[in-house]
Amino acid sequence: MTEAAGDTRSSRQSEGERIAKRIARSGLCSRREAERRILEGRVMVDGAPVLTLGLRVRPGQRIEVDGEPLPEVEPPRLFRFHKPQGVLVSAHDPKGRRTIYDLLPPTLPRLMPVGRLDFNSEGLLLLTNDGELKRHLELPTTGWVRRYRVRALGRLKPEHCAQLARGMRLEGVRYGPVQVELEQATGANAWYRVALREGKNREIRRLFAHFGLQVNRIIRTSYGPFQLGSLPRGALREVPARVLRDQLGRYLDRLAAVATGEGH
């Protein structure tokens, strides 16, 4: 039985990197999607089907997904994209709505979004060609703060802001601390500055609605050290390699070590 067929007794299983991680790093798909394809029997290593998510692969092994050779791992790249309102963060939409991929240049490698912005939200969306980098940047343990400008109908009271800052449970979902400051009030609407570290689905809208406020605009202004700045709507700019290394050098070194068989 080959290692790809599930020979987990082999001592070589402790080397290299997990198969789903290797697929994600190629930019073909996210790690979660890679795991799904493995479990569906769509992945082969050295001609044998992969039967376990625990399989580790080493440089030089032949990996195929859906009968096609896995792309070589390219150096991680990161892009800033100004997502407009009315654009879906998805590869396809059954309703025929525009997606971010309709706005991206066709000459780029396949890019994956870091986190999400819902259909009616706008602002900074990070995109990467590396599924493992995507996963790392999305983890709350990475500790990067996401900042927003939020316009809402109504006013938050000081006690509401204090409750949000402590974190709260709402409809069975636990939300971590959210920092909220009033920026300006104009008529019935008010602009707030919001900072959080998790970013669950529609989190800001649900938390504000709990206190009786109707959110009518959300603009993400930063994700960790990366800023929206003056980037025009619909525009894409690559984060320079030097800046990426300044922010993520240690993590990128670990990825490179595993990919070359020098670490695990």
Give me the active site residues, please. 118
**In degrees to the nearest 10, what's the CA dihedral of 73, 75, 76, 81?**
-110
Q: How far apart are CA 122 and CA 125, in angstroms?
A: 8
First to last CA, the chain: 24
Q: How far apart are CA 30 and CA 140, in angstroms?
A: 17
Q: How far apart are CA 167 and CA 174, in angstroms?
A: 8
Lookup result for tokens 């670490």:
263
Q: How far apart are CA 28 and CA 132, in angstroms?
A: 11
Return the structure tokens found at 43: 């992945």
